[in-house]
Chains A and B, each alone.
Chain A
Amino acid sequence: MSAPARSKAEPWRDAGLEPYVRIAGVSKRFGDFTAVDEVSLDIYKGEIFCLLGGSGCGKTTLLRMLAGFEQPSAGQLFIDGQDMAGIAPYERPVNMMFQSYALFPHMTVFGNVAFGLQQEGLPKSQIASRVADILDIVRMGEFALRKPHQLSGGQRQRVALARSLVKRPKLLLLDEPLGALDRKLREHTQFELISIQEQLGVTFVVVTHDQEEAMTLASRIGVMNRGKIVQIGTPHQIYEFPATRFVADFIGSVNLFEGQLVEDESDYVRVACPQLPVPVYVDHGVSAAPDASLWVAIRPEKITLERQQPDSRDNWARGVIKDIAYMGDMSIFVVLLPDGREVRVTAANVARKSGETFTWDDEVYLSWDASSPVVGSG
């Protein structure tokens, strides 16, 4: 999970700063179904904020409420300090890029991009130059006279982006912006989106179900589940310190174990997991009731494989390699513990010359650092 190298300000740490978007206790009910459940969220100027969650978690509904296509059943939405209640979509300082792109099929690329500016009643010459500028930024200048169905998926995505940016909105909402692109194009476009965002200084709110996309794009991620925000944090925080079991499981792949607290000190804890031969030792304190049932999450890339039994009283397990998937840059090992539990381990394929290779049915020992496991009770 590599975030692109860039210096990021962290406006959410600045207590004096007014958030650009404030979502205050917003709920949305459709009949008996609660799509969005009392979500409160602050988004600051210049952020790329990702709403991440599975299908039906309410992320798109939340986005549509920001755009004005749905009205909250309860709670308030503020954009730039202004209450958005009763303000129609065409009066909001917000533009949206739709998942389907929603390009007008009967207009050319130029016509599509110019549409928003025409609604502002700008003079023709000014419209032409602004459309030309934004088409250059998304590198679609030479396609201005094409119709949308004469474009490939990637080109349509660029036109949709240009169309939503040409009005210079302060806030751009993107609904699964890369969902319709193939993998290679998606990776490329992610970085392009970031550079355009930095170039124009727009605040992005991105909805996605793709955690990799969220990781690369986001300055902060809000993980949603069943209409609620379960954790807000930087990609690093979300990945390394998932607040709940759901987040740990949803983001990346993870090995989850159930356990009981056996030693609880302010600077370390020991958790006994029935599935592991020795306790899990974690070098930081955990706030949990003494006899609470806990979950322990260990990322596959933080586990090391060895042939010798580690000479330690915690943080190891024994198993047999059941499966190996060679991925090129790394390999995924599936290790079967004695009680039948499978553990995923990933290892970078750097040691081509050092002899230690593992193969199917090898008996191995798994071990990890005291700083690696994440423990929680939620």
Chain B
Amino acid sequence: MSRSRTAWVVPTALAFGFAFLYVPILAMVVFSFNNSRLVTVWDAENSPTLKWYGALLHNQQILEAAELSLRIAVLNATGAAVLGTMVGLVLARFGQFRGRTLLSALTTAPLVMPEVITGLSLLLLFVALEQSIGWPAGRGVTTITIAHITFSMSYVAVIVQSRLSGFDDALEEAAMDLGARPLTVFRRITLPLIFPAILSGWLLSFTLSWDDLVISQFVAGPGSTTLPMIIFSKVRLGVTPDINALATLMVLVVALGVIGSTLLLQRQQKRLLRDQQLAAAGD
């Protein structure tokens, strides 16, 4: 079969794929600069305008929600990074201990668990805990953060584990052999090696928490309304242009997080490859 006759297939498929994924988002971004109050009508004379972005800055409700979302996202990312790293380390470096398969399965379960079920079960847990030991008192930032950590730490664990499995087990043994105690081995060998993975996991956890709606809905209390919850409640009353602006900003934050996390891992990979080629050339 001649190549030229099929050459159009790949670019076309690519174009359709990207269009399917990104045209809706692009439309939203474009309409966020629309001057008209009607979301679906493009006011060609006075657009583009930044007035909806300006309006956002004066909307106290949205600013508070943004601040809350940010706080939860940072707390979540940090908590998930610590716990996820611990799980990843154990899975990658502690050999075949009893219960390893169970831990491994439990780690990946939240990744595939329907959010509605995660949210509902956490809500039941929090209510039961409050009734029996009085903590957490009511639902708010604490409960949302805990809920987010339960699923974000799985991502960190998977990233850290896969990074560690790319490194020779003997590295830690070599450090120990040279006289380093276990804590020193972790601080000077393991941690520097997995740091890019932890950072990447942190960014990913941040974005996961930042745009989570379903689980937050279940475990949020009065007064703890996150940004996605505001958008969702506003949209039910009809889409307004300022929501477009807000959503555009959120997409920006998420995109930065994901791109940053990907670049971090890629840059390491590339540098390693280039240096290896250099070394091979010098042989």
Contact = CB atoms under 8 A, between A and B. Distances in A.
A68 B178 CA distance: 12
A90 B170 contact: no
Interface string A100-144: 101111100000000110011000000000000000000000000
B170 A116 contact: no
By Cβ-Cβ distance, the 4 closest A-B pairs, closest first, are A116-B178, A119-B179, A102-B170, A102-B174
A69 B175 CA distance: 12
B282 A152 contact: yes
A152 to B, nearest CB: 4
A281 B177 CA distance: 53
Contacts of B282: 150, 152
A67 B177 contact: yes
A154 B279 CA distance: 11
Nearest to A154: B283
B181 A90 contact: yes
B193 A106 contact: yes
A119 B184 contact: yes
Contact of B171 (A88, A90, A95, A104): A104
Given A106-B193, A119-B179, A149-B275, 16 more contacts: A68-B177, A90-B179, A90-B181, A96-B173, A96-B177, A99-B170, A104-B175, A104-B189, A105-B171, A105-B193, A149-B279, A150-B279, A152-B282, A163-B174, A164-B177, A167-B179
Contacts of B176: 88-90
Contacts of A3: none
Interface in B236-283: 272, 275-276, 278-280, 282-283
A120 B179 CA distance: 7
Interface in B30-44: none
Contacts of A115: 175, 178, 180, 188
A167 to B, nearest CB: 7
A10 B91 CA distance: 48
Given A100-B170, A105-B193, A106-B192, A150 B177 contact: no
B45 interface: no
Contacts of B16: none
Contacts of B279: 149-152
Interface in B149-170: 167-168, 170
Interface residues of A, number: 31
19 contacts: A89-B176, A90-B180, A90-B181, A98-B174, A99-B170, A102-B170, A102-B171, A102-B173, A104-B171, A106-B192, A106-B193, A119-B178, A149-B272, A149-B275, A149-B276, A149-B279, A152-B280, A152-B283, A167-B178
Interface of A: 67-69, 88-90, 94-96, 98-100, 102-106, 115-116, 119-120, 147, 149-154, 163-164, 167
Interface in B175-205: 175-181, 184, 188-189, 192-193
A98 B170 contact: yes
Contacts of A152: 279-280, 282-283
A61 B180 CA distance: 22
Nearest to B178: A116
A313 B124 CA distance: 97
A59 to B, nearest CB: 16
A150 B278 contact: yes
A163 B173 CA distance: 13
Nearest to B273: A149
Interface centre among A69, A116, A149 (most CB of B within 10 A): A149
Contacts of A96: 173-174, 177
A247 B201 CA distance: 54
Contacts of B184: 119
B280 A119 contact: no
